[in-house]
Chains A and B, each alone.
Chain A
């Protein structure tokens, strides 16, 4: 296969991790909640999925059932984390930044504790080929694209459709822009905030699961997961709060992050050791550039949701 095509597919496969993470974060942010707990949520999503696989990995259940149960495990655990977050920030009206950071500390730590207790021959070796369907038998880059990759693309597109083309999405965006007005027209602000945080976290959790079970498919994968949670939050800005844009953005980020190791395979391009950290820095620099440019141009549709980061107190309206 063409080396450049290989490269793009590789970037896509890597990018699916952040595609999940940032799609989840966008949904949460559209409800006005900046969830800095996403790295922790992604970690716990990965742990949840692996916990389920650890139980059923060698049970001899049919392949598709194992695949679906693993995904459900990741979803459930991540949504539980989302529930903690939304209980603290919505019901108890706690500061979102502090809650999010605590959630990341907790999630990343607990994931490591859980994962260190499990046997990778059970949760990883058997199930990982199941998740590689339909390209499990390929030997080229295509084998990196499995069930969870296609699910990521589907979720990103579907989320955009729901957010920008349906009434539910309109209500959700109204809650994030101005909860007071949304409340006044009869939208149940609390319900929307809860659902957005929990569903968003669930989706983000799948990213962690994908990273461990499919993309890295190694025993140590969980140790390097947290940083990609932060990259997902960066990608939200890069994608200008549009889930479908994360597909493009995650490919670019995936390209920049993986090219430091991949680019050596391409003739005519030499990358020194010192250039690798600089290449990895680029996603963040791009994100800062996007953040600055959008704030200078000040176009309304490219801005963060107006009430992002602010708790809503009905009584203080």
Chain B
């Protein structure tokens, strides 16, 4: 009697067990539910901060309609949404190979910024002195080299001395920021540090379709290429093995250091491409905010997609949708311009949290279950 009492006091209400696998539709049902819940919380937060919502000038329906309006409201908005998504997708692809081998590269922001800087530096110094087609090629090469160098430095130290890559790559972001702001001071003699649009080195749009179509197509092509590289090439296989277990990789004769460095070069090259798209394709200029935090957002996008390039189209789309929708909200409902960050943050919390319910099963303890075991 006493023993069962003690047991009851210590019996937890539920326990957790890891799922072996989960039906595809179940996993997505959980994720969709999480996003829906997150959106409900966003509505609540918006209600707190928007006077227009509180006084009834706008309704919650308007609030949710903003997400659609902001991304697909007009044709221009739609293309802009697709462009933002394409750039984010490209940076997300860049961080993916490293993540698959559990190399926590959070330096995509700096790597991409160096790519933008490299392309613009070439356009600044060589613009007008060489033919435009040649200039664009040199810019491309410069972007790739700058980004790859920025990415490979932490990898070299990781491979040789096991230097903590998360902290190293994080610091490299800020070094890159100040490299750019140094050159802005040098390049802009007026002291305003704002480099205007350069005349040369603009990536020409395709002869047909929208001006952003080229960027979108490049991004899509890279998605497919990276998918093939990661899934169906020897390199991709080695990355997966190093990610699963470094020891296994070593025992099976792989040179782990080489794999780390090579993968980071791939990451850097992709960042360079993204930087080129931003620098030559869109801005024709560079500033410390050229990448605007997308390097960090990309990490979350890549993680949400479970490092699968194809699924990443969906997650990059979701984040871009939230961003453009929330931008519309802050405009329509008169909340601060920082509101998109709040929306994205909340939704991410819910998706991050929902992964737990996909990976684990909560088993409720049955009454008297522990007691029976004691009796045995």
Residue numbers of A with Cβ under 8 A of B are 34, 36, 40, 84, 87-88, 91-95, 97-99, 101-114, 116-117, 230-231, 233-234, 237, 273-274, 276-278, 280-281, 284-285, 287-288, 291-292, 295-296, 298, 304, 308-309, 315-316
Most buried by A among B16, B45, B174, B185: B174
Identity of the chain B residue whose Cβ is nearest the Cβ of A226 in the assembled complex: B293
B179 lies within 8 A of chain A by Cβ? yes
A232 to B71, CA, bound (A): 36
A110 to B45, CA, bound (A): 10
Let me know if B167 and A237 touch, CB within 8 A: yes
Chain B interface size, under 10 / 10 to 19 / 20 to 34 / 35 or more? 35 or more
Distance of B223 from chain A, by nearest CB (Å): 21
Contacts of A308 in B (CB 8 A): 164
Let me know if B352 and A315 touch, CB within 8 A: no
Contacts of A40 in B (CB 8 A): 345
Distance of B103 from chain A, by nearest CB (Å): 12
Residue numbers of B with Cβ under 8 A of A are 16-18, 45, 49, 104, 106, 157, 161-164, 166-168, 170-175, 178-179, 181-182, 185-186, 191, 293, 296-297, 299-300, 303-304, 335-342, 344-346, 348-349, 352-353, 355-356, 359-360
Distance of B30 from chain A, by nearest CB (Å): 13
Distance of A221 from chain B, by nearest CB (Å): 15
**A109-B339, A274-B186 known; A102+B300 contact, CB < 8 A:** yes
A34 to B17, CA, bound (A): 26
Let me know if B300 and A101 touch, CB within 8 A: yes
A114 to B299, CA, bound (A): 27
**A99-B352, A277-B185, A281-B174 known; A288+B341 contact, CB < 8 A:** no
Contacts of A98 in B (CB 8 A): 299-300, 303-304, 348, 352
Most buried by B among A108, A111, A230, A277: A277
Contacts of A237 in B (CB 8 A): 167
Q: Interface SS of chain A: helix, strand, loop or mixed?
A: helix
Let me know if B349 and A113 touch, CB within 8 A: no
A277 to B182, CA, bound (A): 5
**A105-B341, A281-B178 known; A309+B166 contact, CB < 8 A:** yes
A104 to B345, CA, bound (A): 8
Let me know if A309 and B104 touch, CB within 8 A: yes
A231 to B171, CA, bound (A): 9
Distance of B188 from chain A, by nearest CB (Å): 10
Identity of the chain A residue whose Cβ is nearest the Cβ of B16 in the assembled complex: A315
A285 to B341, CA, bound (A): 29
A296 to B158, CA, bound (A): 10
Let me know if A273 and B191 touch, CB within 8 A: yes
Distance of A184 from chain B, by nearest CB (Å): 19
28 A-B residue pairs with Cβ-Cβ distance under 8 Å, sorted by A, are A88-B349, A92-B355, A95-B303, A98-B299, A99-B349, A104-B296, A106-B341, A106-B342, A108-B341, A109-B338, A109-B340, A109-B342, A109-B344, A110-B345, A111-B338, A113-B335, A116-B338, A234-B174, A237-B167, A274-B185, A278-B178, A284-B175, A288-B171, A291-B171, A295-B162, A295-B163, A315-B16, A315-B17
